Each structure stands twice: as C-alpha cells, then as structure tokens.
Structure 1
Amino acid sequence: MPPRKTAETTDAEPRRSTRIASLPKEEVAPGPIRKASSSKKRAAEPAEDGKEGESSAAKKVLKAKPDIEEGDGEVTVDAEITSDNKLTPIDIGDVLPTLTLKNEKNEDIEVADLAAEKGVIFFLVPKADTPGCTTQACGFRDIYPDFESLNYTVYCLSADTSAAQMKWQTKKTLPYPLISDPKRILIRALGAGDGNKTKRSHFIFEKGGKLVDKKIPVKPADSPKLALEFIKSQS
C-alpha cells in the first residue's frame, strides 16, 4: 500500500488561492478624445464669405505693388515699374519723357535730360553685334564727328543688356553711348516696339528735347546718312 500523507507534507505544499481569479475585472475608463489643433481645424473648415486664403492673397497683392514715394500730397510711380510698363506714345512735336534707363556701363541715364544742351539722335537696333545692326552702328561711328560739329549727340538704343552693349562697343570701337531698354519702355513709346522685337529706326530730337524727325523702319546703311542729311537741312 502507498504511504499515507502526513500533516507535515500536506502543509509544505501551499495551495493556490482562487480569490484573485474570482475578483471582477476592473473596467478602464476610456481616455479623452484628442481634438485636432486649431490650425488644422481652420485649414479643414471652408473659408467664410468665399475669402479663401485671404492672408496669402493679401501678401501677393502687397508684393506686386510698385514702390511709390509720397510727398507734398503727390504720389509718383517710377515709369519702369508701372503695371503695364507703358509711356505715352511720342510723336513729332512731343518731347523726351521722364525715364531712367542704363547705359553700357550700367550707369543711370535720365532720358529727359539728354537734350538739355545738344540735339539727340537715337538709332534703334534689333540686336547688338549682328550683321545689319553692326552696319548701322558703324555707319554712325564713321560720321560721328559730323554730328558733333552740328551740336548733336548720337545714342544707340536697344533691348540688349548693358554687358552685351559694352562688349559690342569695345569690339567695334563705337564712340557714342549705348542705352539699354530691356523692357522696351522707350522703344514702344517711340513706336518701334513689335512684340518682343525692335524695329530698326532712328529718331531726331532737337535741343530742348522736341522730336523733329523719325524714320521707321529704315535700312541699316541708309540710317546714318538720312539722319545727317536731315540735321544739315535744319541748320
């Protein structure tokens, strides 16, 4: 027969308690639902009164506004930064406009002041250092002393950059200044703008700034000779 368990052996093996298993499970309360941040909420909500992105639109308007100077109740806007980059058309009898452009040295040129002491000839070329334009430019170069003797100054006007004009001037030893009009503001006002192109032409302003003659279009070789003939006829 198997030996009987004594009280000692029975106490040495503790019985597992079933009280823990019988306790009811503790219910965990659900945590608070996190709300979207105010910035995300605003982005998700439709804008009131159809003013979507009002702040960003306002910034764009401010950025697009031209710089203006206020003084003595007047507001002046520089001609180069007007919304349409236009000047009043210049025809025979009109005077040089108030406009600041750059010369081949990247220096400011006040157009209205050019004819203060001498007459002015603007000859316009489509593109610097191209065959036809070089013929026209060198033609004015070769008879430049004749214009000076008649109290006239010659200027080449084009939409080329100042750097391109300087390179061309040095290459061909052009003795007169070159004026850069990249937005074709003066070129269009003179009637020589053709979309993104410049019509070959020349314009003669007498001392004081009044336009007295224009040739548009004109052939490269004819432009210098016709300009000189007109000035001589006025003398």
Structure 2
Amino acid sequence: MVDPTPTTTAPPPAPGQAPRRSSRISGKPKSEAAPRRRQKKGGKATSATAASTGGGGSRTSKQGKKRAADAMDADAEGDVDVKEGNEDAVGGEEGVDAKKAKLPPPDEETGKPAEASAEENQSPGPAAQPTQAEGGDGDVTMADSAPVKTTIDIGDTLPSLTVKNEKGEDVETSTLVAEKGVVLFLVPKADTPGCTQQACGFRDIWQEFTALDYDVYCLSADTPTAQSKWQTKKNLPYELLSDQKRVLIGALGAAEGNKTKRSHFVFEQGGKLIDKKMPVKPVDSPRLALEAIKRVKE
C-alpha cells in the first residue's frame, strides 16, 4: 500500500554553503569577551564592552575608534611603547634602555647624579683666583688685596712728598733736609692734653736742637687752621705740617686707620733716618730725640 502522507525531501545544500541552523537554536551567537584595551596616557578609556553595545558605540567618534584600534594592534604586537605627549615610538626593551642611558647613576654619598656631583666638586676657574698686577718698578702686588703698609727703618731716606704748613703753604719734604737735619714728631690731634705736653716739651728745648743744626717740625692730620690756632695759643716756635690724608704719616708707618701713632723721627742732613721712637710717651719724646742727635754728633 502507498502511504497517503506526502513525503518532502530537502534539497541538498549547495557546495560551499553552510548548512542552515535549526530554528530551535537561537540565531544570535554568544559574544566572546573582547580583550581589554590599554588606556592611553592622557586620553580617554575605550572598553570593548561599550563598543559592543549600541549606546556606547554611538557616542564614540570615528577618530576615537581609529586610535583604539591602533592601540589594540600595538598591544598585540608587544613591541611598541608610545611616549606621553610625543608621537615618536620607541622599541619596548630598547626604549627603556635608551631612557636609562640618558641618566647617569646617582652618587652614593650625595644621592645626586654623578655628573652633578662632579661639577660641584670642581675647583674654581682662573677667574675666581686673585689676580696679580705688576707695577712699574717690578714689584708684584695682589690686585684684590689692600695695599701693604710700608715702614721706614734706620738708614732709609725721608720720603719726598708735599704737605701743607700751618699757613696753608705747600712744603716739599725733600727740601727740609737739604741743608739741616730734621726732627719730625707726630701727634694724634692738635690742642689735646697729651699732644700739648709733647709739643711744649719740644718748645722748651727748641734752641738746643737749633744749636745742633736741626730743625723741629710737628706733623699731624689736623687742618692748617687748627694747627695755626694751636701754635698761637701755645707759642710754638717751629712749623706745623698738615697731612690730612695721612700720606706722609702712612709712609712713615705711623698711620693706624684714621689715627696717628704718637712718635718721632730724626733725619740727618741729606734725609737719612738715624733714630725713631714709635710709640713714645709725650713727656719722653723731646728728650729722647735730643739724646739721639747728640750721640751722632759725638
């Protein structure tokens, strides 16, 4: 007997065509977890989950998708590292080595790079060293140092300088010893007790000096006007020399800052120094100077 139920035979699938799935199996394939993408430094994170959903995909610009795809390709290869703020790419291990090579290892003691420590320990250059200047006479002095104080010793000659007398007239020191010997006694300040005692002591025996062919001069840093008043007040018979800048006083070695050391110097005719006392007491100065002259005369 012939079966009354009609039989339908499905046609065989065409070559190369995948078999159709049964209607019982859902047409939607299970989504596989997409690999997480690396977040770019300084950029926005883009997740694979957001890209797979409709809402996230719509808010992502084409430019963002392109950058995300480039980042995924770079992560997959594993040999590209992108610097922050720089488009240049450096190989993975080679880039790290290059960065390390730029920075020298720190110094163990200071914790600073070796190059910085070496620069700090370097000695100052030639510009930091004091320079020397050579004078016209061949003497060498330090340019950065203060001028060296000079002193006059026995046998030296009276310095040739110009000063003022109590009248304000110029006096050349070399002319003072041209014909006679000279006694220069120095006082700190005119018309003060100690200086007056010293000046009056030379006044009282002034004739004894002139008898031995020696002239007496008082030297100080006072003005000629102050010296003239003092001379008149105390009846001083000798000239007073004003050296306000202490040029001659300094050449004799009697300058001490803004002060003058009490002293006296005896020069024979021609300017040779034969005696000096510094410091000296006011009462002793006239007598000691006269005794020095008498010893030379004997």
- TM-score, with structure 2 as normaliser: 0.50
Picking from 202, 220, 231, the partner of 2:282 is 220
C-alpha displacement of 1:224: 0.2
C-alpha displacement of 1:86: 8.8
One-letter code aligned to 1:182: Q
Pair 185,151 (structure 1): closer, same or farther in 2 beyond 3 Å: same
Query: What's the counterpart of residue 183 of structure 1?
Result: 245
* CA–CA distance in structure 1, aligned partners of residues 272 and 175 of structure 2: 12
Q: Does 1:131 align with 2:156?
A: no
Query: What's the counterpart of residue 148 of structure 1?
Result: 210
Whether the 8 Å CA contact 1:85–1:185 is kept in 2: the answer is no
C-alpha displacement of 1:85: 9.4
What runs of 5+ residues in structure 1 fail to find an aligned partner?
1-83
Q: Deviations over 1:95-151 (max 9, x none)?
A: 122211100000010011100000000000000000000000000000000000000
C-alpha displacement of 1:183: 0.6
Whether the 8 Å CA contact 1:87–1:185 is kept in 2: the answer is no
One-letter code aligned to 1:178: L
Helix, strand or coil at the partner of 1:214: strand
Query: What's the counterpart of residue 101 of structure 2?
Result: none
Larger Rg: 2
C-alpha displacement of 1:171: 0.2
Greater RCO (Cα-Cα under 8 Å, separation 6 or more): 1
Query: What's the counterpart of residue 229 of structure 1?
Result: 291
One-letter code aligned to 1:140: F
Picking from 160, 167, 174, the partner of 1:98 is 160
C-alpha displacement of 1:90: 2.3
* CA–CA distance in structure 2, aligned partners of residues 108 and 228 of structure 1: 27
Whether the 8 Å CA contact 2:159–2:251 is kept in 1: the answer is no
Superposed CA RMSD: 1.8
Pair 157,86 (structure 1): closer, same or farther in 2 beyond 3 Å: farther
* CA–CA distance in structure 2, aligned partners of residues 133 and 98 of structure 1: 25
* CA–CA distance in structure 2, aligned partners of residues 116 and 191 of structure 1: 23
Whether the 8 Å CA contact 2:203–2:236 is kept in 1: the answer is yes
Helix, strand or coil at the partner of 1:112: helix
Helix, strand or coil at the partner of 2:218: strand
Moved beyond 6 Å, runs of 4+: 84-87
Query: What's the counterpart of residue 66 of structure 1?
Result: none
One-letter code aligned to 1:92: I
C-alpha displacement of 1:88: 5.4
Pair 144,86 (structure 1): closer, same or farther in 2 beyond 3 Å: farther
Q: Deviations over 1:62-88 (max 9, x none)?
A: xxxxxxxxxxxxxxxxxxxxxx99995
C-alpha displacement of 1:189: 1.0
What runs of 5+ residues in structure 2 fail to find an aligned partner?
1-145
Helix, strand or coil at the partner of 2:198: helix
Picking from 262, 281, 296, the partner of 1:200 is 262
* CA–CA distance in structure 2, aligned partners of residues 86 and 180 of structure 1: 23
One-letter code aligned to 1:227: A
Identity %: 70
Query: What's the counterpart of residue 210 of structure 1?
Result: 272
Query: What's the counterpart of residue 175 of structure 2?
Result: 113
Q: Deviations over 1:140-192 (max 9, x none)?
A: 00000000000000000000000000000000000000000001111111111
One-letter code aligned to 1:194: E
C-alpha displacement of 1:215: 0.1
Whether the 8 Å CA contact 2:266–2:276 is kept in 1: the answer is yes
C-alpha displacement of 1:89: 3.6
